[in-house]
Amino acid sequence: MMMRLKNSNPVISFINLRRLIGILGMALPLVCILGGLFFARLNIQPSISFYYYTNVRDAFVGILIGVSMFLISYRGYEYIDDLISNITGLTGLGIAIFPCLNAAFEKVGFFQLEPKISNIVHAICAGAFFLLLAVNSIFIFTLTDKKRNMSKNKMRRNAIYIVCGIIILLSMLFLVVLHIKYFQEKLDTNIYVFILETIMLEAFGISWLVKGETILKD
């Protein structure tokens, strides 16, 4: 008779969950670029969201939904952690479910909305998503138990969280600037949009990897 070996910890730990969130966030731009390049000979798209309309749609939507569900499932130390993570996860789902503008289609997405309407919801969700990631990194991850002395590694981690959050906020600001008509006429804004989105996702991923004690662990 075969003996069954029990897993000593069948429930995924919050540490591993943080790492998964970070890894998936950082992997999204790379998966989109390489998947489009090697399997469809695509140039870099106007934005990461535009990969919804390419051969990597399943990967794009799958990773976004994965990150979103992990964020919704995540439980922090305090209620505010859970609240921000849950809202961030919901906005991430909105990015995946409501595609960005593509004039080539009359109806888009799961709900078959007009592209302009879907794009408005998509933009609102994307803006809220990254803004909340920055807030989480700067104000939530840096919280410390007042009863304990802050370790040197905790201070270093806090510095990384703050830098990542600031990078996300500055990238969002530059994205707004790129949508000003003057800059759209002077610059090839498409590549800059993609670069800024990638920078935000990498900063987001680094922040969560550090929170997952991948480096600078106490």
Alpha-carbon span 75 to 127, nearest angstrom: 23
Least reliable range by pLDDT among 39-53, 127-141, 150-164, 187-201: 187-201
Specify if 216 maps to a domain: no
Confidence of residue 9 (pLDDT cuts 50, 70, 90): low
Residue 12: its pLDDT value, please?
57
Predicted TM-score (pTM) of the model is: 0.90
Specify if 5 maps to a domain: no
The answer to whether the beta carbons of residues 61 and 78 sit under 8 Å apart is no
Alpha-carbon span 115 to 21, nearest angstrom: 29
Q: Look at the block and give the residue holding tokens 């950082």.
A: 26
The answer for residues whose C-beta is within 8 angstroms of residue 154's C-beta and 6 or more apart is: 144, 218
Alpha-carbon span 202 to 185, nearest angstrom: 28
Q: Look at the block and give the residue holding tokens 């919280």.
A: 143
> What's the pLDDT tens digit per position in 155-176?
999 999 999 999 999 999 999 9
Cα torsion angle, 43, 48, 54, 59, sign: positive
Count of domains in the chain? Answer: 1
Domain of residue 180 covers: 14-211
Specify if 188 maps to a domain: yes
Least reliable range by pLDDT among 38-42, 46-50, 80-84, 129-133: 80-84
Specify if 138 maps to a domain: yes
Specify if 114 maps to a domain: yes
Spell out the alpha helix ranges (H) of 141-188: 152-178, 181-186
What value does the mean pLDDT of the chain take?
89
Least reliable range by pLDDT among 1-5, 89-93, 161-165: 1-5
Specify if 47 maps to a domain: yes
> What's the pLDDT tens digit per position in 162-214?
999 999 999 999 999 988 877 776 776 678 899 999 999 999 999 999 998 88
Q: What is the mean pLDDT of residues 26-37?
A: 96
| DSSP for 93-137, written as a single string | HHHHHS----TT-SSBTTTTB-HHHHHHHHHHHHHHHHHHHHHII
Specify if 133 maps to a domain: yes
Specify if 6 maps to a domain: no
Residue 2: its pLDDT value, please?
52
